[in-house]
Amino acid sequence: MDNVETKLTAARAALIMEKPFLGALVLRLPLVEADPSWCRRTATDARSFYYNRQYLERLDFEQTKFVLAHEALHCALAHFARREHRSRRRWDLACDFAVNPLLVADGLTPPAGVLLAARFRNMVAEEIYPYLREDTEEQTLDQHLYDDADEPHGHDPHPASHMPPAGGAGAPAAGAAPPPPLSAPERERLRLQWQQRLAGAAQTAMQAGKLSAHMARLVNELLQPALPWRALLARYLTSAARNDYDFAHPSRREGSAILPGLRSGQVDLVVALDTSGSIADEEMREFVSEIDAIKGQISARVSLLACDERISEDSPWIAESWEALLLPERFVGGGGTRFTPVFEWIEHQERRPDLLVYFTDAAGEFPAFEPDYPVLWLVKGKLPVPWGTRIQLN
């Protein structure tokens, strides 16, 4: 074997010994030398690891470990199956921004030019994607060969397969041709296959005592079944609206014992919208539309508040269970974020709500004490809440 193949083989062996989670994933990708006319550096199609010989010759041993793990983690995270309607170029960038910090945090050394941004730390590709611009000059470390070169939802100004070779315009043709894109059945088969590989790699690393805390969290999030926020919201609202028993209307069941009767009552629901500027109007309207659809099913009276540093003068908007929840054409807001005014407003009402649902990015001033009624935070972003129940929006 020459130097490049020796380096790749040794780097895989080192990952297996030092970082068995990543090493087990890397072993699942066969090494294929690619023609430099299409492969700038490295690439993957979720089936193999493709590499440009001239590029790998310039990497040191630690950087070689990084690029191997980079491709394997793209596959294990099923980035090839999660793009959906999104622009290919922005999705590819978002995937790199998601993968690279994980590898750096795990102690690997990146080559020059990899995409790293502190603001995207602990975010998944779907969360990063909206922050990226289509006309950015940034480029991924590698090439993602999952899709056709054609962009179904807009023009791709820098298709990966058309990038210039790393060896220059005159580089001799050598190595494998570009692989065909994944078919829909193949994509689904590989998604399930990589999910099984991810679970197996995590189990192996845990048994060896070498699965880092942040990788363990990542695996748990990926392998645990996750309900969409709409399903979780419906579950909590339905729970708040559960029927209760009382003796005011006793049960008519026969017998000597007096039993409480089942009573169905109206739910008093307060909904608060963070209008500080970090939540888009379209997202707020989507959320309110979901509340409106659910409230009729559970017989809920909704008091809707809009709040940034203070509660909007137009608030509250009140809708009975049989009424549509109508909003103004635009929300007045855009200032700082304080959650306290909403809780102070509730304190001045005649009765406590059965549930408060707060739609926010959680970047603001919380009340010092938890109230004596349930609070459900529907959060866009990664920030925590000090109390209450938190549902991840995106």
Give 127-171 pLDDT, tens digit per residue: 888 888 888 888 888 889 887 654 443 333 334 433 444 444 344
Here the CATH number for the domain that contains residue 301 is 3.40.50.410
d(CA 175, CA 48): 14
Angle (CA) 91 103 16, round 5°: 120
Question: What confidence score (pLDDT) does residue 255 get?
Answer: 54
Lowest-pLDDT range of 34-48, 116-130, 174-188, 273-287: 273-287
Confidence band, pLDDT 50/70/90 cuts, at residue 252: very low
Of 205, 223, 241, at which residue does a domain stop? 223
d(CA 136, CA 87): 13
d(CA 215, CA 102): 8
- Mean pLDDT, range 274-294, rounded to an integer: 76
Proportion of the chain above pLDDT 70, given as a percent: 80
Q: Is the pLDDT of residue 172 over 60?
A: no
Residue 255: exposed, middle, or buried by beta-carbon count in 10 A (0-12, 13-18, 19+)? exposed
Q: Is the pLDDT of residue 17 over 70?
A: yes
Domain that holds residue 293: 229-249+257-392
Segments of 146-265 assigned E as strands:
244-246, 261-263
> When comparing pLDDT for 270 and 212, which is higher?
270
Choose among 134, 393, 136: nearest CA to 280.
393
Sheet holding 267-274, edge to edge: 317-319, 300-307, 267-274, 355-360, 375-379, 389-392
In contact, 380 and 279? CB cutoff 8 Å: yes
Helix, strand, coil percentages in the chain from 3-state DSSP, rounded to 5 = 40, 15, 45
Q: Is the pLDDT of residue 113 over 60?
A: yes
Which tens digits make up the pLDDT trace of 309-326? 888 888 888 888 788 777
Confidence band, pLDDT 50/70/90 cuts, at residue 248: very low
3-state secondary structure of 389: strand
Q: Is the pLDDT of residue 282 over 50?
A: yes
> When comparing pLDDT for 207 and 334, which is higher?
207
Q: Strand 375-379 and strand 317-319: pairing?
A: unpaired
Tokens of 64: 């070689």
Rg of the chain's alpha carbons, rounded to an integer? 27
Residues 215, 261 share a domain: no
Question: What confidence score (pLDDT) does residue 228 get?
Answer: 67
Question: What confidence score (pLDDT) does residue 33 get?
Answer: 92
Residues 193, 316 share a domain: no
In contact, 66 and 93? CB cutoff 8 Å: no
- Mean pLDDT, range 63-68, rounded to an integer: 95
- Mean pLDDT, range 272-277, rounded to an integer: 83
> When comparing pLDDT for 165 and 372, which is higher?
372
Residues 235, 205 share a domain: no
Confidence band, pLDDT 50/70/90 cuts, at residue 344: very high
Residues 211, 101 share a domain: yes
Residues 164, 50 share a domain: yes
Residues 238, 201 share a domain: no
Q: Is the pLDDT of residue 251 over 60?
A: no
Confidence band, pLDDT 50/70/90 cuts, at residue 367: very high
In contact, 275 and 307? CB cutoff 8 Å: yes
Question: What confidence score (pLDDT) does residue 182 get?
Answer: 86
Question: What confidence score (pLDDT) does residue 75 get?
Answer: 93
- Residue 110 is classified by DSSP as P
Residues 342, 301 share a domain: yes
Q: How many domains does the chain have?
A: 2
Confidence band, pLDDT 50/70/90 cuts, at residue 12: very high
Residues 68, 18 share a domain: yes
Which tens digits make up the pLDDT trace of 209-241? 887 777 877 777 676 655 566 676 777 777 666
Residues 206, 134 share a domain: yes
Residues 155, 285 share a domain: no
Residues 235, 219 share a domain: no
Q: Is the pLDDT of residue 371 over 50?
A: yes
Residues 109, 22 share a domain: yes
